[in-house]
Chains A and B, each alone.
Chain A
């Protein structure tokens, strides 16, 4: 596979989706606090709606994600079409993708494969999917019909995940958030929470670590510390490498804690809820203006109010932020403060 081409395609996907975001974004659509009585924002509150177009039987059809759900608006009678498909017709690609999304909405494999940071670009496209199907069929043929059950299920599962990922980074982050949200309050039915805790801790660690690295990395302006507001503690904490972040799942009230181990800040201990992935990391809020965002307090798209740490061990402060183009920026949200 040509990975450069795949990355280019991913960038194009992202650009087109952001354009769609702007089109779909309506300041009156989502005001999380008003919808939820001011108690908590839903996990999807800081996400803009997103839409992709795919070839569905020769026609350009839309797949739309909004408020935590994926829909296929060009298939208003999806159930009827699926019944027809069961009777021998082909299943429309839109509905196959919608099914894939629903089937994998609580699959931790999504977090195993998915992006760890905005800069972590996946080389997933139709070419990789084709290679996977080819290799999978060859593998199933080798292991034989009697032993192919588990391998076949794994192949189908990975195909579903990658087919959604192939829609582009915006969908990759949203599916990741969906999975994280599904596991945030309690394990989905049929799953043992004890058995899956290591996977959840790793999913959180793998995404917090690059964010911490970005948070504590000295910037060019840090060389002129006197000319900035960066504290001495902040600069010394910049020695913290991403590999030196340990995470435990926070399961109580509040956002958790983040502290370094003493004056020589070479290790960071973070206690965060899994919901941080869905609410903060996935919408691209992890690090803003040299702050690590630990929670989203309120959203009225494109404005939000977040809780953020200026440095390890310090107390969080509230920041008002606003979506500007493809990035979040501090300020412009007075009505939410």
Chain B
């Protein structure tokens, strides 16, 4: 189905919206001085047509400029009927088109390994005492990196000054075979503490058994015993989703606390579900009877977003996955244990990407996984920042061994492109609700276009030193 069908649908939908707006009684509105008059409120139908336009652009059925033209035309038509501010006649353009996403090469073939580092080195940052935690050593075919975080201690423990941050000397690292490596520190953006990545160059061989990291010249090297993790994994094929189904699932997961969209975008799409599903169906991006529609409709009903009509019936009959039911059941929990864990696990390849879990921190509100990645880039949250959803998002879920389900929401930790080139770097996955205090293991599920992979990691949380944060 070409873009002509998408544009025709959107234009005819605009006509329907205009007809309803003209026919509906319109309440008088108050201006800022509580006088009758002022700018009219935004017509609800305009928001619905905007949402339909948004998803048609997002699935690649319609060009952004065309979609904008249709929506602007509707705003203008409402304006000449006194139902939209006069600005609707100015037909402002959509602004400069977003740069197309850079192509992401597939992950380099070869061995990916992860080993818990589980070390903490005293280090001062900006004059404040703390510790540099080494979470996980990750080895990829072309790179090696140790994930780190600096946790400030608001109360100094022990006597004497600490090494300055980062506490590594100029002599780099040495492995058990006497091979020398350069260390370079990359600061990452994190929500709380100084997150970083310690890059080793050249990359060590997979047979490495230990690394000695030279710190301040006055201190003994820190020894990292390398024991590659071997966590149980799952890898199953799933029925491929259409672009429309993937988008609706992303909307649903965003409303559940995960997903990749901004909350306002997800809510706008959900609030216009009848128009959105009609748009996706009319352009062949949503198969009849898709469970993605029924599930989102069911969630809308739970969130007091009225869907009405046949969608309401579908919502009542929706086959809601166990994970969703579990997510509902655990809403409002703030009982997560405080600590961190040197989680180390390699996920099976998915959608051409390699993902390695490289650390976890837990707080009362949420748990956060650190993920090193190759051959993948987090998609834009705005829908329109990635027209056609060239980078379809991965779906993240987790279940701890007490049965509590968690949705995952990705956060970037740095620029789109890490030192290893496009598609490489690190992001975080925030898991909500928080871990169950009694949990001892966590299974992380990642769903892509046609596969679902999983890995189970032990949850052996380290309690932060007194006064230091969990991160």
Whether a CB of chain B sits under 8 angstroms from the CB of A205 is: yes
Whether a CB of chain A sits under 8 angstroms from the CB of B220 is: no
Point out the residue from B14, B16, B76, B93 that lies within 8 Å of A113, measured CB to CB.
Answer: B76
- Given the contacts A202-B15, A210-B19, A243-B16, A128 and B90 also touching, CB distance less than 8 Å: no
Residue from A121, A124, A205 having most chain B Cβ neighbours under 10 A: A205
Whether a CB of chain B sits under 8 angstroms from the CB of A206 is: yes
> Contacting chain B: which of A23-31, A50-58, A150-158?
A150-158
Whether a CB of chain B sits under 8 angstroms from the CB of A85 is: no
Interface residues on A, range: 35 or more
Please provide the chain B residues from 50 to 106 with a CB less than 8 Å away from any CB of chain A in the complex. 73, 76-77, 79-82, 86-87, 89-93
Chain A residues whose C-beta falls within 8 Å of the C-beta of B16 in the assembled complex: 209, 242-243
- Given the contacts A165-B80, A198-B7, A139 and B90 also touching, CB distance less than 8 Å: yes
Whether a CB of chain B sits under 8 angstroms from the CB of A185 is: no
Contact indicator per residue, chain A 6-24, by CB within 8 Å of chain B (1) or not (0): 1000000000000000000
Instruction: Establish whether residues B82 and A1, one from each chain, have CB atoms under 8 Å apart when the complex forms.
Output: yes
Chain B residues whose C-beta falls within 8 Å of the C-beta of A246 in the assembled complex: 12
Point out the residue from A124, A136, A158, A198 that lies within 8 Å of B4, measured CB to CB.
Answer: A198
Contact indicator per residue, chain A 194-217, by CB within 8 Å of chain B (1) or not (0): 100111011001100110000000
Whether a CB of chain A sits under 8 angstroms from the CB of B8 is: yes
Instruction: Establish whether residues A109 and B73, one from each chain, have CB atoms under 8 Å apart when the complex forms.
Output: yes
Instruction: Establish whether residues A202 and B82, one from each chain, have CB atoms under 8 Å apart when the complex forms.
Output: no
Residue from B4, B8, B14, B22 having most chain A Cβ neighbours under 10 A: B8
Instruction: Establish whether residues B15 and A206, one from each chain, have CB atoms under 8 Å apart when the complex forms.
Output: yes
Chain A residues whose C-beta falls within 8 Å of the C-beta of B8 in the assembled complex: 197-198, 201-202
Whether a CB of chain B sits under 8 angstroms from the CB of A131 is: yes
Instruction: Establish whether residues A132 and B86, one from each chain, have CB atoms under 8 Å apart when the complex forms.
Output: yes
Instruction: Establish whether residues B11 and A151, one from each chain, have CB atoms under 8 Å apart when the complex forms.
Output: no
Shortest Cβ gap from A156 to chain B (Å):
12
Instruction: Establish whether residues A135 and B19, one from each chain, have CB atoms under 8 Å apart when the complex forms.
Output: no
Shortest Cβ gap from A173 to chain B (Å):
14
Instruction: Establish whether residues A209 and B90, one from each chain, have CB atoms under 8 Å apart when the complex forms.
Output: no
Point out the residue from B11, B15, B76, B92 that lies within 8 Å of A139, measured CB to CB.
Answer: B92
Whether a CB of chain B sits under 8 angstroms from the CB of A116 is: yes
Complex Cα gap A243–B14 (Å)? 11
Complex Cα gap A107–B81 (Å)? 19
- Given the contacts A131-B86, A158-B89, A122 and B4 also touching, CB distance less than 8 Å: no
- Given the contacts A123-B81, A198-B7, A205 and B15 also touching, CB distance less than 8 Å: yes
Complex Cα gap A136–B92 (Å)? 10
Complex Cα gap A3–B86 (Å)? 13
- Given the contacts A113-B76, A124-B80, A158-B76, A202 and B11 also touching, CB distance less than 8 Å: yes
Complex Cα gap A150–B65 (Å)? 13
Please provide the chain B residues from 1 to 31 with a CB less than 8 Å away from any CB of chain A in the complex. 4, 7-8, 10-12, 14-16, 18-19, 22
| Interface pairs (11), CB distance under 8 Å | A1-B82, A131-B86, A132-B89, A135-B90, A136-B90, A139-B90, A151-B93, A162-B80, A201-B11, A205-B15, A209-B19
Chain B residues at the A interface, C-beta cutoff of 8 Å: 4, 7-8, 10-12, 14-16, 18-19, 22, 73, 76-77, 79-82, 86-87, 89-93
Q: Closest 8 CB pairs between A and B? A: A202-B11, A206-B15, A123-B82, A198-B7, A198-B8, A3-B82, A112-B73, A131-B86
